[in-house]
A and B are shown apart, each in its own frame.
Chain A
Amino acid sequence: QKEVEQDPGPLSVPEGAIVSLNCTYSNSAFQYFMWYRQYSRKGPELLMYTYSSGNKEDGRFTAQVDKSSKYISLFIRDSQPSDSATYLCAMRRAGGTSYGKLTFGQGTILTVHP
């Protein structure tokens, strides 16, 4: 079993829709959770960075963490064609060695059509 599972999609939605992207994980030691957006032939760009359980909002994006269920989500409101990209979840343990190893999901391909 992979430590982090992410539905690869692809996911196709109309412009203006609410998008829900999800990851589940098995390692209860994960404390820090990230969402990256990756456009084609580009490197991942950090979208959201959260610690432990709860919600964090940034513009049209909301990151949600439910540690009891080992489940994280990214919601995109009023989706735009420019949101079309691959979305990667990532997470890491707290403390330990200082390099901060991240464990990634395999990414969800999202297309928002006009």
Chain B
Amino acid sequence: SQTIHQWPATLVQPVGSPLSLECTVEGTSNPNLYWYRQAAGRGLQLLFYSVGIGQISSEVPQNLSASRPQDRQFILSSKKLLLSDSGFYLCAWSVLAGPNQPQHFGDGTRLSIL
């Protein structure tokens, strides 16, 4: 069966520090990968998606970037964090073959910026 791992679960960072969040998927090949941010009391906002190694599309302009160095690894980064980057970050995957597949989520990273 497929599993998705995100780490760390919780992170507290000072303003202006760098960020690296990692997500890996097991049990499937060539998945679509996604990064979302969820603000308190709000739905999920898609930040980035990837259909293959090195292929990244951004949904919203922001202080963050994403990379996919391996087929089942997706990384969310920032060079200098802002207070507004606080939130709950979720990684998700879906089957690549066929566009109409549901997405499955990891358990997220709760990021607090001080």
Contacts and interface: CB of A to CB of B under 8 A. Distances in A.
A99 B104 CA distance: 13
Interface in B4-57: 6, 32, 34, 41-44, 46, 49, 51, 57
Interface in B75-114: 90, 92, 94, 96, 99-108, 110
The secondary structure that dominates the A interface is loop
Contacts, number: 68
Contact of A49 (B42, B102, B107): B102
Nearest to A99: B49
- On chain B, which size bracket covers the interface? 20 to 34
Of B6, B34, B57, B105, the most chain A CB neighbours within 10 A belong to B105
B96 A98 contact: yes
A69 interface: no
Given A98-B96, A99-B51, A106 B41 contact: yes
A106 B43 contact: yes
Interface of A: 4, 6, 8, 31-32, 34, 36, 41-46, 49, 51, 88, 90, 92, 94-102, 104-107
